[in-house]
Amino acid sequence: MTLDIQPLDPDHASERQLADYHAMRAAAVAADFPEDPPLTYASAIGRLRTPPVEDGPCRFWIGTLDGRLAGSVRVALPEDSNSGIAQVEVHVHPELRRRGVGTALLRAAMPAVLAAGRGTVLGQPMKPDSAGAAWAAGLGFEVTHSMVMQVLLFAETPARLWEVPVPAGYRLEQWTGETPERLVESFAAARQAIEDAPSGRTAYRPTRWTPERIREADRELAEAGAEQRVVVAVEAATGQVVGVHVVHNYPHRREIGYIHDTSVPAAHRGYGLGLAMKAAMSRRIADERPDMERICTTTATVNTHMIGINHALGYETARTMNWVETAAAGLAGRLAEQDR
């Protein structure tokens, strides 16, 4: 059997290609993450056409085996602080694994990685004991970071868990969409505190938040049709933002909110601002967006403080996920060697 690999343009793909892509991805999600809801057509194609804005430009290839879409590969090229990284996702239909499909797709994508001048390949997060983790290790990927995914299910969580007082000396403010001009500078400074979060040995770096980058991100999210909800902690004495909690929601997955950042500068830690902001966000979403079924967040496994805060608010740990990465040149060489 010969694998036919072709580029995929999500905006101009045929109805058949999109249907086949969804079928492949839905089967992979069901096999790899049975704890998750089934992947809908709208979710699969929506992410294909509207990837998270922080991923930067993306390219896609699909592999067809005897007329059946067997797998896909996505190369994302983030910008700014991650301009040396290529994020690569490889997906293969469970019924067609162990036939070299994933390796062939990755090999086909490597010229684009090298042409973009990316020195590091970051693989998609994967369960430590998964077949994908063993495959990646065999190609020379190393685990550089470990995270837990936690999920808040609104229908199963008592609202009393979100009745959290705001610490003395602070107040909460919130908005949807564009950042208020009067807060943008201190908002950027407080958001930059996310760089203190544990990140293992990964080459991936948090966004460098400046007022200009905040405005750019606001525009990018609006253009993508994404909803940005923000709760901030403001120091009453100064009027400055000293805590940030951000949730993104994309139109193709209106039922899921994704926590993007929760950060508090060091001088304001230890007062319960993170707990108060997250509780307020949960109350707000429950009131304003009854169609949102869950919020998902990832936290470093060593960040037991934040994991504990999430548990206190009703989040349940769904799984542990490892980040893997390797040098792009070395990976290209190993793939070429295997092809001989």
Q: What is the pLDDT of residue 176?
A: 97
Same domain, 271 and 208: yes
Measured distance between the N- and C-terminal CA atoms of the chain, rounded to whole angstroms: 18
> Both tokens of residue 21?
């892509």
- State the residue for tokens 């101009």: 12
Q: What is the pTM of this model?
A: 0.93
What mean pLDDT comes out for the span 174-192? 97
Residue 205 sits in the same domain as residue 60: no
SS3 at position 312 = helix
Residue 173 sits in the same domain as residue 304:
yes
Average pLDDT over residues 57-84: 96
pLDDT at residue number 2: 86
What is the C-alpha separation between 120 and 140, in angstroms, rounded? 12
Per-chain mean pLDDT for the chain: 96
Alpha-carbon radius of gyration of the chain: 21
Same domain flag for 110 and 181: no
Residues in the chain, total: 340
**Do residue 251 and residue 174 come from a single domain?**
yes
Range of the domain at 60: 3-118
User: Based on the structure, what is the number of domains in the chain?
Assistant: 2
What is the reported pLDDT for 1?
62
Contact residues for 141 (Cβ-Cβ < 8 A; gap 6+):
121, 123, 324, 325, 326, 331
Residue 190: inside a domain = yes
Q: Are 335 and 327 in contact (CB under 8 A)?
A: no
Same domain, 167 and 307: yes
At CA 216, angle to CA 212 and CA 220, rounded to 5?
170
Q: At what angle do helices 273-288 and 304-312 cross, to 10 degrees?
A: 40
Q: Hunting for tokens 């943008």 — which residue is that?
A: 184
Q: Does position 168 have pLDDT exceeding 80, yes or no?
A: yes
The helix (run of H) or strand (run of E) holding residue 189 is helix 184-191
Tell me how many degrees the CA angle 298-208-191 measures, rounded to the nearest 5. Answer: 60
Residue 7 burial by Cβ neighbours in a 10 Å radius (0-12, 13-18, 19+): exposed
